[in-house]
């Protein structure tokens, strides 16, 4: 993507805005959320503001990288993995060393499907669904390419192959089938008063099958089989993500060289999608396709904003939300 001098100037203010936004999110979490939500406050009482400052700097740095570097797909995967690493490190330390590292002091199973299944089974646990929908309102389906602690593993698995295999209707059918199985099983557990042990065993088995899918099919196919064909939250993210005006669009000057298709691990760029000028329903707004196009034919769009302004807006928002998640990542 080629930028004008005016756009390059905007890049200088974009990291500052991303930093302020991330700082603002954490400030709200610190004042309105549970006590000790920030790591620094837990171990260095009163110094939470220092963590807010560091996270704000990090948000600015990430948005600067995403706006100015060409290898954005690598940067995205690295920051996503960093989030997952910090999330699961805190979980393990919380389980085996000190409960101070856990959010509520009690264990929740870190399988994304529970965002949907938990409220259906228990009638409680609405924090994660509300968080999920809030991010959808801000940045569409990008939960599944920047924010999910689990999906980054699938991203790594798929990236082992240089280009993805074709996505077909069998994968789509599997996705909807799993979605309904999760809903019906959760409701059945509730109606028939299944014990917590049974529910936990079901959740662990679901997560384990997901990991096996990543280690086998995602690695073999080169696309994110777990996230595009198994996880019900991925499907919900894609459907509800349409609420957000952010889209990926393909310009009429596209040469159909299909370089972007090779870059897309969510299989959202088939020839039909390209011809229609829009990414497919599995798009998560990851942006990997944008830097792969030498003609600048593929871009973010947001209402009437230009592609460049849309990209800057998306990058500022996603950098701020990602950094804020990093600042409070624990379970």
Q: Which residues bind ligand SF4 (CB under 6 A)?
A: 112, 144, 148, 150-151, 154, 227, 231, 233-234, 237, 248, 263-264, 266, 268-269, 279, 283-289
Q: Which is nearer to ligand SF4, 154 or 308 (CB)?
A: 154
CB of 287 to ligand SF4, least distance (A): 5
Cβ–Cβ under 8 Å, residues 249 and 299? yes
CA dist 3 to 176, 216, 312, Å?
Answer: 41, 40, 11
CB of 23 to ligand SF4, least distance (A): 26
CB of 301 to ligand SF4, least distance (A): 11
Q: Which is nearer to ligand SF4, 139 or 264 (CB)?
A: 264
Query: Which residue, judged by CB position, is nearest to ligand SF4 in the bound state?
Result: 151
Q: Which is nearer to ligand SF4, 65 or 224 (CB)?
A: 224
List beta partners, residue 247: 301
CB of 236 to ligand SF4, least distance (A): 8
CB of 205 to ligand SF4, least distance (A): 16
Burial class of residue 246 (count of CB atoms within 10 Å of its CB; 0-12, 13-18, 19+): buried
What phi-psi label fits residue 109: left (phi over 0), alpha (psi between -120 and 50 degrees) or beta?
Answer: beta
* Token pair recorded at residue 259: 């370089």
Q: What is the distance between the alpha carbons of residues 89 and 331, in angstroms, rounded to a whole number?
A: 11
CA dist 276 to 177, 254, 256, 260, Å?
Answer: 27, 11, 12, 15
Q: Which is nearer to ligand SF4, 196 or 204 (CB)?
A: 204
Q: Which is nearer to ligand SF4, 49 or 88 (CB)?
A: 88
Q: Which is nearer to ligand SF4, 40 or 149 (CB)?
A: 149
Handedness of CA 287, 178, 236, 186 (dihedral sign): negative
List beta partners, residue 250: 298
CB of 192 to ligand SF4, least distance (A): 27
């Amino acid at each position: 993507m080629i930028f004008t001098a005016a756009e390059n100037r905007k890049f200088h203010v974009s990291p500052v805005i991303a930093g302020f936004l991330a700082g603002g999110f954490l400030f709200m979490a610190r004042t309105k959320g549970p006590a000790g939500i920030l790591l620094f406050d837990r171990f260095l009482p009163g110094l939470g503001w220092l963590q807010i400052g560091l996270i704000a700097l990090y948000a600015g740095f990430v948005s600067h990288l995403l706006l100015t570097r060409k290898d954005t797909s690598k940067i995205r995967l690295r920051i996503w993995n960093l989030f997952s690493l910090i999330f699961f490190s805190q979980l393990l330390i919380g389980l085996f060393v000190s409960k101070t590292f856990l959010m509520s002091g009690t264990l929740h199973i870190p399988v994304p499907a529970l965002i949907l299944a938990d409220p259906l089974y228990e009638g409680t646990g609405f924090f994660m669904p509300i968080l999920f929908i809030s991010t959808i309102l801000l940045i569409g389906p990008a939960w599944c390419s920047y924010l999910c602690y689990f999906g980054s593993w699938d991203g790594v698995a798929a990236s082992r192959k240089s280009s993805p295999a074709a996505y077909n209707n069998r994968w789509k059918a599997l996705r909807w089938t799993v979605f309904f199985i999760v809903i019906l099983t959760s409701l059945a557990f509730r109606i028939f008063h299944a014990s917590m042990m049974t529910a936990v065993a079901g959740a662990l088995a679901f997560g384990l099958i997901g990991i096996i899918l990543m280690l086998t099919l995602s690695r073999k196919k080169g696309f994110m089989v777990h996230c595009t064909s198994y996880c019900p939250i991925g499907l919900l993210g894609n459907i509800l993500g349409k609420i957000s005006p952010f889209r990926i669009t393909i310009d009429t000057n596209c040469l159909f060289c299909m370089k972007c298709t090779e870059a897309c691990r969510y299989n959202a760029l088939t020839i039909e999608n390209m011809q229609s000028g829009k990414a497919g329903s599995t798009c998560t707004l990851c942006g990997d396709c944008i830097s792969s196009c030498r003609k600048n034919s593929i871009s973010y769009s947001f209402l009437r904003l230009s592609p460049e302004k849309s990209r800057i807006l998306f990058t500022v928002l996603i950098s701020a939300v990602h950094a804020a998640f990093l600042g409070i990542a624990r379970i």
